[in-house]
Amino acid sequence: MASLIKNFFIAVRQIFIGNTKYYLWVGFLLFLILLGGSAYMSQAQRGLIITGMRDQVSWGFYISNFTFLVGVAAAAVLLVVPAYLYNFKPIKEIVLFGELLAITAISMCLLFVMIDMGQPLRGWHILPFIGAMNFPASLLAWDVLVLNGYLAINTCIAFYVLYRLSIGKEYKMSVIGPLIILSIPWAVSIHTVTAFLYNGLSARPFWNASILAPRFLASAFCSGPAIMLILFQIIRKVFKDVDIDDRAIFKIAELIAYAMAINLFLLGAETFEVFYSGTIHEYPMQYLYFGLHGKAKLVPYIWFATFLNVTAFLLFLLPKTRENYTTLNMACVFVIIGVYIEKGMGLVIPGFVPDPLGEIYEYGPTTPEVLVTIGVWATGALIYTLLLKFAIPIYTGKLRFVTKGQEGYRSPAP
Amino acid sequence: MTEKKAEKYIDRRTFLRGAALGLAATALPLDKADASFWEAFFQKYYREMNEEEKKKVIQRLEKEYAQKYKKEIKVGDEKALPGVLFGYGLDLSRCIGCRRCVYACVDENNQSKDPQIHWITVLRFKKGEKFLDLEESEKYYNPSQVPEPGYFYMPVQCQQCENPPCVKACPTQATWKEPDGIVVVDYNWCIGCRYCMAACPYGARRFNWTTPNRKPEEINPKTHYLGNRPRYKGVVEKCTFCIQRTRNGRYPACVEACPVGARKFGNLLDPDSEMRQLIEHKRVFRLKEDLNTNPKFYYFFAYGR
């Protein structure tokens, strides 16, 4: 019992130790969360009318962000594949950071779904046994299951590893091995199910194309690892004792190049099918790329995204630019923004334009909507920061909890 | 003896529900903690309530409505009649695009007036241009007089599909098809995720983006639990073929309001009904038949022009 209390204080202290930069960063995030929270309060009071969404375009910025983040969550864990398949050690050592990113991204996904609901207090209606979950008919029910399952699996893996390390013991592969194996198809499943969520709607020709799920996965394999690459470099810089091998970074960059090649190919295949056959089902894509009846709000964004994706593909493909940190980071940022547009608003909004009765309603997020979204992103950043605050000292052996066999000690700043 | 047993017996589902809700309850705002709020929060799913529970819920709703609108509002719970499957017919050769059906529907079904919610959308098309795919429709036409030369009109509302994509999509089963074929929503069970709206090929579902606003004197006090009772912010609603009227042997409000008799309504299972006559003797079609939603809303042309 005494050691439990001691450990509790070790853990609490861990949140508060840090240099000025750490405090500034957390303070900044808390400020953004407060800003988003106040915008959400007005949404809770007045309803979703404060957003730009209407009956014609009934999903918007929130669900766009949700979709993008499911991809990030999936891809963060798929880094496990090369690590274990080829026993590539440099990547294996950083898988933990991927798991933590997956936990963060899924938490953000769940937040985005919650803030999009008209009656969030009734969320329990969707649960099995307690509520009246429409399983297996509703793909949204599937999504709730796979996303929460994924969160549970990754939480188990990450916390088990950290717990073992924190009590000064090696983790046992016999315990988490099966979970890691399970997490691989599960990562594929969360993004596939999310794609099917759109894909299954015959009312929306833009989504009702079987290429959707493969495109989801391909683009996720670009944006997820790109985010990881940036995070790895930040981690390496901030926590000077974390050693992340350059080879791991360049290997992942190479994987992004292949994923982007597939992504662009699939995009080309879809574009051909839609525009060559030229049926009325081309209207949403026409709206996205060229505008329809003079309405062209998304056009500059999607072309910007296309430009970014193609440029990033070339930068990742050439070994010279891939292994130069300036161009590598440029490419990472390009891919993140490119996929964020393409798999966010670029995917969700054209599904609703024109609406089933032919109306073109141009959606754009309102200021409160953007503020709430920023709040969720800040929450995600805070979750990841705090997770790292524990994970890294444990990982490098600077933070240990009190057990019978060892004395606890804490990490110095940062 | 058996009664006592039943009292003691709590099945796993009820137990789980109670336990989870107890936990959830601790996280809720305290200032709203009046009894009615909690009863509403814990309210069960309509299709899982027994008659006794339904009665209690309806009593509570009527009390809430009376408080809010300062008048008596009856919430009915008439069941589907056996041997009835409702169908609708719309004569495109007669429709003049006056939108009286739209406003009769609003008067009857207690939709929000600010912001306006309409369950019926009347589309206008240029004669001679393609119209079946609805892409060239105009919904905001506003002439001084109808019908306008050179145009024709096509009202669209919930098509009451036999194979409804919205029902399949709903993650909480808050929307379903009744035995008489009407697709309904339990406004106390809908979580407002709007997946059904994305799934509907006919743009028939409406969301309460804010608290529905309507003057108390404009409220139609004759309502049905699954139909026109006052709704909440953050839930989806739709045409119910005026369930509160049609289950009591009356026509839907839009049928009665139509000045040119373009709207028909009847029991598809009754071989002598107007609907069956129409389907057997006119050339009927349904919207977006390629989607296999199998609507019970038939369009037809009674005569030329």
CA angle B209, B213, B219 (to 5 degrees): 130
| Residue at A333 is within a domain | yes
Q: Write down the pLDDT at residue A93.
A: 67
Chain A residues touching B172 at Cβ < 8 A: 122, 125-126, 131-134
Beta bridge partners of B152: B125
Does the beta-carbon distance from B165 to A283 stay under 8 Å? no
Q: Which residues on chain A are in Cβ contact (under 8 Å) with B236?
A: 118
Of the candidates B136, B172, B233, which has its C-beta nearest A131's C-beta?
A: B172
The reply to whether A413 falls in a domain is: no
Question: Rounded to 5 degrees, what angle do the CA atoms A18, A24, A28 make?
Answer: 130
Q: Inform me whether the C-beta atom of residue A116 falls under 8 Å from chain B C-beta atoms.
A: yes
Q: Is-contact B192 B240, C-beta < 8 A?
A: no
Mutation choice for B interface testing from A42, A117, A122, A281 by most B CBs within 10 A: A122
Which pLDDT does position B6 carry in this prediction?
A: 45
B254 touches A at CB < 8 Å: no
Query: Looking at A94-108, A176-190, B22-36, B140-154, which range is the least confident one?
Result: B22-36
Evaluate whether residue A58 is within a structural domain: yes
Q: In this complex, is the C-beta atom of B133 within 8 Å of any C-beta atom belonging to chain A?
A: yes
User: Per residue in B183-210, pLDDT tens?
Assistant: 999 999 999 999 999 999 999 999 999 9
Chain B stretch 87-106, residues whose beta carbon is closer than 8 A to a beta carbon of chain A: none
Pairing label, strands B206-207, B236-237: antiparallel
Per-residue pLDDT at A274: 94
- Which of A74, A67, A85, A390 is closest to A228 using CA atoms? A74
- Chain B, 191-250: which have a CB under 8 Å from a chain A CB? 191-195, 197-203, 205-211, 232-236
Residues B61-82 as b or e (16 or more Cβ within 10 Å = b): bbebbeeebeeebebbeeebee
**8 Å CB contact of B134 and A358:** yes
For the cut 60, the answer to whether the pLDDT of residue B9 exceeds it is no
Contact B123 A283 (CB under 8 A): no
Residues sharing a CB contact under 8 Å with residue A89, sequence separation 6 or more, in sequence order: none
Write the pLDDT tens digit of every residue in B212-232.
Answer: 999 999 999 999 999 999 999
Q: CB-based contact (8 Å) between A202 and chain B? A: yes
**Which residue's structure tokens are 């030329």?**
B304
Contact between B208 and A47 using a beta-carbon 8 Å cutoff:
yes
Domain boundaries, position A293: 22-396
Q: Which residues of A touch B202 (CB under 8 A)?
A: 203, 356-357
Q: In this complex, do A122 and B190 lie within 8 Å of one another by their Cβ atoms?
A: yes
Nearest to A117 among B28, B123, B192 (CB): B192
Residue of B nearest to A62 (CA): B193
What gap in Å lies between CA A365 and CA A60, rounded to an integer? 7
If one counts the domains in chain A, the total is: 1
pLDDT for residue A84: 67
Question: What pLDDT score was predicted for residue A136?
Answer: 93
Tens of pLDDT along chain A (414 residues)?
677 788 788 878 888 888 899 999 999 999 999 999 999 999 999 999 999 999 999 999 999 999 999 999 998 888 777 776 666 777 666 788 889 999 999 999 999 999 999 999 999 999 988 999 999 999 999 999 999 999 999 999 998 988 888 888 888 888 888 888 899 899 999 999 999 999 999 999 999 999 999 999 999 999 999 999 999 999 988 888 888 888 888 988 999 999 999 999 999 999 999 999 999 899 999 999 999 999 999 999 999 999 999 999 999 999 999 999 999 999 999 999 999 999 999 999 999 999 999 999 999 999 999 999 999 999 999 999 999 998 888 888 888 887 776 766 655 544
pLDDT over threshold 60, residue B268? yes
User: What does the pLDDT look like over A171-216, one tens digit per residue?
Assistant: 888 888 888 889 989 999 999 999 999 999 999 999 999 999 999 9
Q: Which residues in chain B have their CB less than 8 angstroms from residue A66's CB? A: none
Nearest CA in chain B to A358: B135
pLDDT at B28 > cutoff 70 = no
Instruction: Kindly report the nearest CA distance between residue A196 and chain B, in angstroms.
Output: 11
B32 touches A: beta carbon within 8 Å:
no
The predicted structure's pLDDT at residue A85: 65
What's residue B8's pLDDT? 45
Smallest CA–CA distance, residue A58 to chain B, in Å, is 7
What's residue B2's pLDDT?
43
A401 within a domain of the structure (yes/no) = no
pLDDT at B20 over 80: no
Q: Is position A163 within any domain?
A: yes
Chosen from B14, B31, B43, B172 to mutate, greatest number of chain A CBs within 10 A: B172
- Domain assignment of residue A11, yes or no: no
Which chain B residue has the Cα nearest residue A119? B191
B28 interfacial to chain A (CB closer than 8 Å): yes
- Phi/psi-derived region of residue B226, left when phi > 0, alpha when psi is between -120 and 50, beta in every other case: alpha
- Whether A392 is covered by a domain: the verdict is yes
Distance of alpha carbon A30 from the chain centroid? 20
pLDDT at B24 over 60: no
Query: Would you say A296 and A266 are in contact if contact means Cβ atoms under 8 Å apart?
Result: no
Interface mutation target, options B49, B131, B191, chain A, most CBs of A under 10 Å = B191
Residue A35: what pLDDT?
97
- Write out chain B residues lying below 8 Å of A204, CB-based: 198
- Cβ of A125 within 8 Å of Cβ of B199? The answer is no
pLDDT at B171 over 60: yes
CATH number of the CATH domain containing A46? 1.20.1630.10
Which residue of chain B has the CA closest to A52?
A: B209
The ipTM (two decimal places) reads 0.92
**What is the least distance, in Å, from the CA of B271 to any CA of chain A?**
32
B24 reaches A (C-beta below 8 A) = yes
Q: Do B170 and A53 touch (CB under 8 A)?
A: no
Residue B190 forms contact with A (CB below 8 Å): yes
Q: Is residue A316 part of a domain?
A: yes
- pLDDT digits over B124-137, tens only? 999 999 888 898 89
